[in-house]
Structure 1
Amino acid sequence: MQEPSNPHHSTGNAAAYLGNSERTLARWRSLREGPPYIRVGRKVRYLQSDLDEWLARHRVHPVREGRPVGCGGGAHQRPTSERHGR
């Protein structure tokens, strides 16, 4: 028998994959947050592709593209008047 191309996960497996608890996923479902899921009767399943897409959408890029680190403009800089002794 051939493996499905898009396997599904139980809440426990999905929580482990995302690094969260089952309780967190249950809370997200009740708040209509978190990754998409499938409910069949009382069972909840998460598709691997949905988990991967959800993680990708929550990826944070700490440095703006096209701007080298240390080029100024960040919140850590002192106001111009302080830098120039005014």
Structure 2
Amino acid sequence: MSLMNDEIRLATELGAAIRAARLAMGLSITELASQSGRVRDVIYRLEAGKETSLSSLFAVLAVLKLTLRLEPAGRPTLSQVQARFGLDDEDE
């Protein structure tokens, strides 16, 4: 997952992007939790794609210097579906 330009459609994908950003900044879960004013469980939950509050999400994103941008989803392309489900042309 290349963090900066990925289309994130699932909570688990958002969690993976948050984890990748944390690791790229060299932060431990404890450090991210401390800097965001949250407990470690919040970071674990976010990275696992589990439910947490929006305020916690935005606090963590602020520490990671990330923002969210909303766009119309539209339909995924064939290549996006194939990549998502690990398919190639022979699997059709």
The TM-score range, normalised by the shorter chain, is: under 0.3
Query: TM-score of the superposition, structure 2-length normalised?
Result: 0.25
Q: Greater CA radius of gyration, 1 or 2?
A: 1
Whose helix fraction is larger, Structure 1's or Structure 2's? 2
Give the structure with the larger strand fraction. Answer: 1
TM-score, length basis structure 1: 0.26
